[in-house]
Every structure is written in structure tokens, then in C-alpha cells.
Chains A and B, each alone.
Chain A
Amino acid sequence: MKMKNFLNSNFQELYEKEVYNKIEEAIKNNDYDKLSKLYTEEEGNIDLTHDEGHLGILAANDFKILNFLVDKCPALVEMYGKDILTAAAWTHNDKIVSFLINEKFVNHHELEGTNIYDYCVQASGNSDSHSEDSSF
């Protein structure tokens, strides 16, 4: 990340904050082009798991953006998959729900007993087999 070049750590911190704010803004506005541009400008040196997966949670209503984030940083869904799945269910984004489960980023059975689990089962349109291999 460019910000690593700064000698003054205070300035570096401010710069980082600004970059993350811009990224957050781009995701909130579903602005794929801006997000992609920011990422390129920073030469890919951005920790997309920043702020406990908040960027992924914000992206849970836009498949293209989430896919971009996951492509650049698979750790995002490995670490915060359940939170992103929950956010996707609340925004009724069945495509993302299916994506996270089919790609086995999240084992939705771990959410059994919650309304999110029921949503996942309902969104799939399949009966739930309660098996580890079940998918949408």
C-alpha cells in the first residue's frame, strides 16, 4: 500500500483511514468501478478483512462487489462468512446466500435454530437434508 511509504506514522494513520472511508463509501454506493480503481491505486495492498469484516458485510447486497472482494481476499469469507451470510439474508440477497453456501464458504447448519438458517433453507427452495453435503 502506498501509505506504507510515509515516514510520519500519524499521517499514515490518517491516510489509511481516508482510504478505508473511500472504500466503504464505494461499497455503500454499490460503485464497483470506484472500488476497483481504489484497489488498483493502492496496488492491492489493502486489508479487506479490516474492521472485523465490515467491508464484506456492507457488500452483502451486491454480488458483483462481494465477488470482487472475495476474489482479492478469500480470507474475508473464511473469517467472516457467517456474518456476511447473515447480512445477505437480511437484505434478501438470495444470490449471495447461495454463493456463500454453494462455494462452501459457510456451513449454514451452524446457524440452525436461527431465523437466518430458516431463511437460507427457504431461499434455496430445497428441502433441508441436515447433512454436511447439502447445498442449494
Chain B
Amino acid sequence: MAKSISLGDNARTQDRIKLTFDPTKPENSRVTGKMLPADAVDIKLPQKLSGINKEIDFVNYCKLSYSRISNLNEAFIYQDKPEGSITPRSEGYTDIINSVPSIETFRLENLKPIESEYNQIKALGGKPSAFLEKYFENANKAIASLHNGIIFKKDYQLHIRGKDLSLDEAGIAGPLVSRFGMDPNTLISLTSTPLKKDELHFIERELFVLALTELEAKSSGEATINEHKNNYPNNVVLMDIFVREDGKIRKDTNSDNPETHTIALWKKRDKTIVLIDPSKVDYSKDLKKALELLAKGAEVQIHLPTKGILYGTSAKETGYSSIVANSIEKHKYRDCIDVAVKIGFELNELQIHKNPLTLEEIESALNLQISNQKDVATYLQNPSHGLPNRASLSSDPATRYSGRQSLEIKK
């Protein structure tokens, strides 16, 4: 039952992120207290999309083994430019317990109620109502995405070693940041369902437990500094959360999907995890106590930049839904995932800085490097406030620091 991540021939990567999960072992029982049965392969999907909103169905649906990892074309990795977001270097989706026929059953169950009506209207050359169209579109989208699973793990890394273990052009393997995410396309039935700011959805709980497990194996920031380590501790992981609004999961403005957000978790000390929100502290600070209940005695500390915004837009609240980084829209803002990845990269660099820094200095330096807010990075001029700050968030540390230097010179 236990499976491990396979990244093809990349031996170093295999070693680095080998992750096994045997649901039949008691130590692997998750926060729900439920263990997956050994014959889990026979478990079927929930009959309706809304079934995914039931914890037991979700637990039965995912084995969390990330058995399907795809190697990205390494050429993509070097497409990272100051004006663009980094491409993940590998990704793994949760394994799906059900067999393909049950996905078909699921499709029929979700579409059956109105399928004949829909087909009839189409056959007569009529135009189905907007509701009908939307229902079909959303159900099909969810079903297509479910083939990949609900939650996933993605790794972000700029430079990696080649297959022969020789160093790449940059001469060094860069820091690795893993993200435990969820695919909102599969979770359409959760949109606008109740979720308080200070409570975790069971999918968020699963993601946090995975993130915590990843962090447990890493050196803390304190240990890295004290022991003068030279290797990146890779002790920053990312996790997705839902965006809450008025006690409900907010609907994404560009789709009917639930809106998600990504936060960074840094293992500052052995028993201290710092939650760093890449945009507004308010989006995630209320989760502190709920996370601490799962954190095995560790304190969850909230990273609080001045005025509570690390990276955002000047005139309005950070709204990342319309943000697409490409060569045409290069002035668009970075998105929360990208900023969170850069938080991970930067923290890794700072922890093994040639001039050892204290933990507080590291957080302070992170603020200065990452923020586009003049209240946080006070060297910024008023006209710079909230504007895209791409170069100083490059994946390449040299570009990142020169970007910031040029801003400081302009001061």
C-alpha cells in the first residue's frame, strides 16, 4: 500500500522528497482519527459533488500517497525571469482510490438529473438556460479535475542537479519549497459553504498535517544558525487555505470555485512555527489556535509586518484572482503562491547567510526584501507603494538583491 514519490531518474530529488504513506499503519492515521481500510481500492466516490464536502468521503477519496509525480521539463525552470512567476519543478497529485468506472458513475450521478433535459434542448436547437449551462460546465470541470485528485504537492526550486548529479549552470542546487495545495476545480460544491475565520476545514487540516510532517524532518532556523550549517534547511513549506468572507468560503470572482490562498510556514525553532501570509495578515491570522491544536505542542506565531500587509496593491485590497504573469501583462502583480515561494527562497538564503543573522534579523530582512509596502520596506518611495516589485522577488537571489539595491539607490 505504501508508495513513494518517483521523479524518474533524478536520484537526488528522489532522496530529497521521498514520501511514503501507508494508511494501514497506526502511526499514519491522520487527524480525523480514521484509518483507511486495507482494501481501500474498492471505495467509491461520493455519489454527488456535494459529497466531497463530507469528511469521510474526502478521507476515502485520497490516500495522500502522491504516487503520480510528473517531472517537468527542466527547460521551464529556467524561464523564470524577474517579470514572471516561477514554474514548479515537480508536482504530485493525491492518488485516487476509486477506479475509472466509478468516476463515470460519479459523472452520471451528477449530471443525470438534468442531462436528458439538457440534451433535449440542444437537440431541438434551443439554448439551455444559463443555470443549466453553468451546472454542466461546473460538473464537467470538477469531474475532469477529480481524475487528478483533490489535494497535491508541488515543489518549487530554481536550480537543481542534473541526472548525473553534476551541478547545474549556477553551480548550486537552490532551496526547495514544497506546497501542499488543493485544486479548487474539484471543490466547487464548497463555494459559499460556512467556514469561520478561526476554524479549519477538514481539507485544510489534512494539508497542515502533511506540511507539519514535512517540517518535522527539517532543521529549525535556530538550529541552522547555531550549528553554522551551509546547506539550505528547506524548512519553509506552503499550504493552501480557503478565503473566508462573512463566515463562508468566498467565491472566486473568475469562476464559481471556492477562492483559495497560499500561506508559508517556517520552522523557526523546534517548537515554533511562523505563519507568514504573503499578502494580508488578516487572511490567515485567526487560524493560529486551530493550527496549534494540530501542531503537537508547537506554538504557531503570526508574522506581523507593519500595517499587516507584506505584499499587496496600493489602492485596493490584494486581489490575486485576475493576476496572470506573462510577457504581455508583465506589470500585473505577483500572486500569493509566487510571493509565498519567494518567502521560502529568501528565508533559506538568510538562514545560511555568510554573516550569521539572528532569527529576528532574518524576519526583518525578509520584510525588506519581499515587501512592496512603503510602511514595511521604508526605503520605498511613495510612488513605489504597492506597485509590482518583480525584480526584488526574482527566484534568482542575485537578481533579487540587485533589484532591491536599485530601489534603495532611488530612495
**Residues on A facing B (Cβ under 8 Å):** 21, 24, 28, 51-52, 54, 57-58, 83, 86-87, 90-92, 111, 113-116, 118-119
Contacts and interface: CB of A to CB of B under 8 A. Distances in A.
29 contacts: A21-B382, A28-B378, A51-B382, A54-B374, A57-B306, A57-B307, A57-B375, A58-B378, A83-B307, A83-B375, A86-B307, A87-B375, A87-B378, A90-B305, A90-B364, A90-B367, A91-B364, A92-B360, A92-B364, A113-B285, A113-B301, A113-B302, A114-B285, A114-B301, A114-B303, A115-B360, A115-B363, A116-B304, A119-B360
Given A57-B375, A90-B367, A83 B306 contact: yes
A86 B304 contact: yes
Contacts of A28: 378, 411
Given A28-B378, A83-B307, A87-B375, A114 B360 contact: no
A3 to B, nearest CB: 18
B69 interface: no
Interface string B347-365: 0000000000000100110
A24 B363 contact: no
A52 B374 CA distance: 12
Residue from A21, A24, A54, A90 having most chain B Cβ neighbours under 10 A: A90
Given A54-B374, A57-B307, 6 more contacts: A57-B306, A58-B378, A86-B304, A92-B360, A114-B301, A114-B303
A34 to B, nearest CB: 16
A125 B117 CA distance: 73
B304 A111 contact: yes
Do most interface residues of chain A lie in helix, strand or loop, or is the interface mixed? helix
Nearest to A27: B378
A24 B375 CA distance: 12
A24 B364 CA distance: 22
Nearest to A86: B306
B188 to A, nearest CB: 33
Contacts of A92: 360, 364
A49 to B, nearest CB: 14
Contacts of A83: 306-307, 375
Interface of B: 274, 285, 288, 301-307, 360, 363-364, 367, 374-376, 378, 382, 411
Contacts of A52: 307
Nearest to A52: B307
Contacts of A86: 304-307
A57 to B, nearest CB: 5
B301 A87 contact: no
Contacts of B376: 90
B306 A90 contact: yes
Nearest to B361: A92
B152 to A, nearest CB: 30
Contacts of B304: 86, 111, 114-116
A114 B302 contact: yes
Nearest to B292: A113
A65 B367 CA distance: 23
A85 to B, nearest CB: 9
Residue from A87, A115, A118 having most chain B Cβ neighbours under 10 A: A115
A118 B363 CA distance: 13
A115 B364 contact: no
A19 B375 CA distance: 19
